[in-house]
Amino acid sequence: MVKYDLDQITHDDILNGRMFLVDKPLKWTSFDVVKYIRKSLVSKFKIKRIKVGHAGTLDPLATGLLIICVGKQTKKISEYQNQFKTYTGKFKLGETTPSYDGETEVNEVFNYDHIKEYDLKKISKQFIGKKMQKPPIFSAIKKHGKRMYEYARENKKVEIQEREIEIHEFIITNFSPPYVEFHIKCSKGTYIRSIANDFGKKLNSGSYLFELRRVNIGEHSVLNALKIE
């Protein structure tokens, strides 16, 4: 695989378009990465305007692969977005949060002593295939020109439409109660946070997304990605 390097980018790349891979750090938004790279390229090439975009948002509490497109390559963003995504991470059993991850405080506590590794593997198989999924209220989806998380922070109830997604792989890689480590390969638009929440319900307990890392987008790997520094 090609190792993408900012030092290899030329003025012609900016004019003709270029794609490269970035490993998003924890607590950075995807747009923070875009702004940082745009600023870096503007400084390097002394160009007032450079088109920079990313192909697929990662939540601030997630790390991992972002595809960054520069110049004319931004026209291919939707093409990259449509490719399958692969994630690794951890669910925490016995607790839920309104955001389905660690962004918000725990709102309910459940027993998880009855859950065995066999149960985790059995339930994970139920997620494979095409399914309807309800995105979290704490999401960047727009409704009436406003982000869903804005409604959530204002404690406003909004109807959330289910979406069809597809899970290609859902593998339990380790179980150290209350933490469940996983590997998931899925379609565009899949919310791993929603899987975490639904997973806890199916286990007659609760669960939220404790840790998430995107390792692949299509054939592109985070192993070939640039670090922000």
Q: What angle do CA 56, 50, 144 make, to 5 degrees?
A: 45
Summarised one tens digit per residue, pLDDT across range 71-87 is 899 999 999 999 999 99
CA atoms of 33 and 42, how far apart (whole Å): 14
What's the pLDDT tens digit per position in 9-47?
777 777 788 898 999 999 999 999 999 999 988 888 888
Residue 70 clears pLDDT 60, i.e. is over it: yes
Which residue, chain included where needed, has tokens 């520094």?
229
82, exposed or middle or buried, with CB in 10 Å at 0-12, 13-18, 19+?
middle
Average pLDDT over residues 159-174: 93
Q: What is the dihedral of CA 127, 129, 131, 135, to 10 degrees?
A: 60
**pLDDT above 50 for 140:** yes
Question: Cβ distance 84 to 67 under 8 Å?
Answer: no
3-state secondary structure of 223: helix
At the topology level of CATH, where does 85-217 sit?
Pseudouridine synthase (3.30.2350)
Judge whether residue 135 has pLDDT over 70.
yes
Q: How far apart are CA 82 and CA 1, in angstroms?
A: 20
pLDDT of residue 139: 67
Reported pTM: 0.90
Same fold, 6-82+219-227 and 85-217: yes
Asked whether residue 109 carries a pLDDT value surpassing 80, the answer given is yes
**Mean pLDDT value of segment 174-180:** 98
- Residue 137 above 70 pLDDT? yes
CA distances from 157 to 142, 143, 152 (A): 14, 12, 7
Q: Give the pLDDT score at 6.
A: 62
pLDDT at 129: 98
Residue 124 CA to chain centroid, in angstroms?
19
Q: What is the mean pLDDT of residues 208-227?
A: 96
Domain-by-domain residue ranges, the chain?
6-82+219-227, 85-217
CATH superfamily of 6-82+219-227: Pseudouridine synthase (3.30.2350.10)
List residues with catalytic annotation. Answer: 59
Where residue 1 falls among pLDDT bands split at 50, 70, 90?
very low
